[in-house]
Amino acid sequence: MSRLQEDAEALLRTEAAPLCVADPPNGAGVDMFLVGGEIVYISEAKGSQSLRDRLLRKHVSGDDNHACQRAFKEQFLDQVLRREHIKANAYARWLEVL
């Protein structure tokens, strides 16, 4: 089995955490954004961007052009309401990759 396949399977085995209480590490890795149990977005955190930064700053509080913000933009035109909805309804999985 390849390292990529091993990492993908490990990511899918991790417990999904609600973003409102998620506590991702400050390291590099891969994250998965879920809404209603469906995978909405998968991204990689590398370099100066940690998993914590991507999940808590970009996914939740990102600008309107971020994929997770765009997913709810039509439903929640007000950015504050949209961010609150994401915090309350979105989940994340992550895998720190060294």
Tokens 């609600």 belong to 18
Query: How long a stretch of residues is the chain?
Result: 98
29: alpha, beta or left? (left if phi > 0; alpha if psi -120 to 50): left
Residue by residue, pLDDT tens for the chain (98 residues) are 788 889 889 999 999 999 889 999 999 999 998 988 999 888 888 877 899 988 888 878 777 778 788 888 899 999 999 989 998 999 999 999 87
Give the count of domains, the chain: 1
Q: Say how far apart CA 18 and CA 51 lie, in whole Å.
A: 15
Boundaries of domain holding 70: 3-96
**How would you classify the pairing of strands 29-35 and 90-96?**
antiparallel
pTM value is 0.82
3-state SS class at 27: coil
